[in-house]
Amino acid sequence: MDDSSGPFVSPPLAESPPRPENAPHVNWLFVDLNSYFASVEQQDRPELRGKPVGVVPMLADTTCCIAASYEAKAFGVRTGTVVADAQRMCPGIVLVEGRHELYTEYHHRVVEAVESCVPVTAVCSIDEMACRLMGRERPLLNALALGRKVKETIRERVGTCLRSSVGLATNRYLAKVASDMEKPDGLVALPKDILPEALSRLTLRDLPGIGAKTDKRLNDRGINTMADLMALDTEHAGQLWGSVWGERLWHWLRGEDFEMSETEHLKSLSHQHVLSPDMRTREKAWAVGHKLLHKAAMRLRSNRLWASSVGLAVGFSVPRTPQGAPTPVSSFGVPAKGFHAELKIIESQDNQTLIAALRKLWDQQPDTPSYQHPYFVGVTLNGLVPDRLHTLSLFDASEDEQSRAKLLKAMDQLNQKYGLSTLAPATMLSAYKAAPTRIAFHSIPDLF
């Protein structure tokens, strides 16, 4: 974003005099680490600095980049770029296998650095955090000085390769929008008085929560620009999304400051894994699926949630069709066929019930030659219900059920302290080193 687009930057002030009530102010400071995984690798390995780096889940041509340094992004390499394409686009790219324990360690160091400047209100993801501003932090000039201090402190305490973009706004949603407007190393403020002009320069896809599918759905309903979206009233915004999200967005885009309702909770939990070549058999893929479910069940109980359905997705690699005939290709660049299934269950957080459901889904896979070489497994727990809304069944009160709940609690505590596979079902043994803990883009693996 160029200087004319509205980011406010000014020299820091040692002490600001009292400002009138109508002076520009902001309520939130949002920190977004730039190219985080790749930047951590460059910080930890000096020989990678200044070079195009692609972070991958495994060193294989069939996988994709989960992060790219800005040197690689200059060649068009992005998150999700297939390795073979990344090597073609950027011949000098250095591929590095992701080290998620290292990224988590750096994450905690970044949080500590930010906390030394301003309290962190919410950790939004491995590379994002939001801070509510109070008192003298809220006037715009003071907030800008605080934003610069946060960025400098991260570089000084964590590493010079850790660049960040800071967004300032009257609510957390717009602060996130502001942090995306100038990368890398940006500082952008969106006080209320410039919102209409600043937002009019964005596209719908610039807004968090509007991806390709939502963008198309909005386009199909005549909403093609920010002006179209801003022209809606609250009722039509709610109807457009078919949920309260549309109404919330309407208020947020006008600078109103309120947080999500406390009744909000996760609606689903999922884990997925691209299998290494030596794991691409039905038996070993089942062991990986079992391990993924084990992880998801631990997260389920940690969040005090209950699942009412289990989902399974398996991708199978298939031979390429004869030249000229179309071959379905997965997002990983693998000629593939897919299997998807879901099974409803009585609300549960118990391993035995969840594993039994997964086994039923697994046995539903076709047994034809096209479905013999799995390369991808994904497990999802859906229809999540919090403890306070969980409907007790006759089984919940049984002595066996209560004993099993105590056993699972003890297992979870040991696994959280000493590692995921400290206590695990024997059927997971062949997947002991497979499906290691990965960091999703919107979560921190604090369990593992």
- What is the average per-residue pLDDT within 359-367? 93
Question: Is 421 inside a domain boundary?
Answer: yes
Residues 230 and 336 grouped into a single domain: no
Write out the residue range of the structural domain in which residue 206 sits.
202-264
Residue with tokens 């079902």: 425
Give residues with Cβ within 8 angstroms of 124, minimum separation 6. Answer: 130, 176, 442
- Please report the pLDDT score of residue 354 as a whole number: 92
Separation CA 147–CA 300 (nearest Å): 36
Residue with tokens 């297939």: 82
Would you place residue 417 in the very low, low, confident or very high pLDDT band (cuts 50, 70, 90)? Answer: low
In a domain, residue 222? The reply is: yes
Domain termination site, one of 189, 222, 237: 189
Q: Residue 436: inside a domain, yes or no?
A: no
Same domain? For 258 and 273 the reply is: no
Q: How far is CA 127 from the centre of its chain?
A: 9
Cis peptide upstream of residue 12 (ω within 30 degrees of 0) = no
Q: Cβ distance 331 to 378 under 8 Å?
A: no
Percent of the chain beyond pLDDT 90? 48
Instruction: Please give the pLDDT value at position 425.
Output: 56
Same domain? 66 vs 175: yes
pLDDT at 408: 55
Residues 257 and 280 grouped into a single domain: no
Q: Does the pLDDT at position 185 exceed 60?
A: yes
Residue 148, pLDDT above cutoff 80: yes
Which residues, in sequence order, are bridge partners of residue 377?
273, 314
> pLDDT tens-digit profile of 257-298?
876 554 456 788 888 888 888 888 999 999 999 889 988 988
Same domain, 49 and 181: yes
Question: Could you read off the pLDDT of 223-241 as tens digits, one per residue?
Answer: 999 999 999 988 888 888 8
Query: Does residue 132 sit in the same domain as residue 256?
Result: no
Partners of 336 in the beta sheet? 317
CATH code at position 31: 3.30.70.270
Q: In which band, very low, low, confident or very high, does the pLDDT at 8 lie, cut at 50, 70 and 90?
A: very low
Identify the pLDDT of residue 406. 59
Q: Which two tokens stand for residue 157?
A: 């305490």
160-171 per-position pLDDT tens digit: 999 999 999 999
Does one domain contain both 146 and 178? Answer: yes
SS (H, E, C) 384-439: CEEHHHCCCCHHHHCHHHHHHHHHHHHHHHHHHHHCCCCCCCHHHHHHCCCCCCCC
- Considering only residues 328 and 106, tell me which one the structure prediction assigns the higher pLDDT: 106
Higher pLDDT, 360 or 321: 360
Residue 106 sits in the same domain as residue 179: yes
pLDDT at 415 over 70: no
Regarding whether 366 and 338 lie in a shared domain, the answer is: yes
Same domain, 345 and 221: no
User: Domain count of the chain?
Assistant: 3
Give dist(CA 182, CA 201) in Å, integer: 13
CATH of the domain at 334: 3.30.1490.100
CATH number, domain of 214, equals 1.10.150.20
Look at strands 385-386 and 305-317 and give their pairing.
antiparallel
pLDDT tens digits for 16-42? 444 555 689 999 999 999 999 999 999
- Residue 7: is the preceding peptide bond cis (ω within 30°)? no
Both tokens of 172, joined, read 């957390």
CB atoms within 10 A of CB 241: 17
7 assigned to some structural domain:
no
What predicted TM-score, i.e. pTM, was given to this entire model? 0.65
Tell me, yes or no, whether 359 lies in a domain.
yes
Q: Indicate whether 11 belongs to any domain.
A: no
pLDDT: is 380 or 447 the higher one?
380
Burial (CB count <10 Å: 0-12, 13-18, 19+), residue 342: middle
The confidence score (pLDDT) of residue 326 equals 47
Q: Assess whether 325 and 356 both reside in one domain.
A: yes
Q: What phi-psi label fits residue 383: left (phi over 0), alpha (psi between -120 and 50 degrees) or beta?
A: left
**Residue 254 DSSP code:** T
User: Rounded to whole angstroms, how far apart are CA atoms 204 and 213?
Assistant: 12
Question: Which of 214, 230, 264 delimits the end of a domain?
Answer: 264
Mean pLDDT is highest, among 5-19, 134-148, 299-313, for 134-148
Half-sphere exposure of 161 (CA within 13 A, CB side): 22
372 — pLDDT class (breaks 50, 70, 90) = confident
Same domain, 283 and 342: yes
State the chain's mean pLDDT as an integer: 81
Task: Report the chain's C-alpha Rg in angstroms.
Answer: 24
Q: Does a structural domain hold residue 6?
A: no
Residue 444 lies in a domain: no
Q: pLDDT at position 153, please?
A: 97
* Mean pLDDT for the stretch of residues 7-12: 44
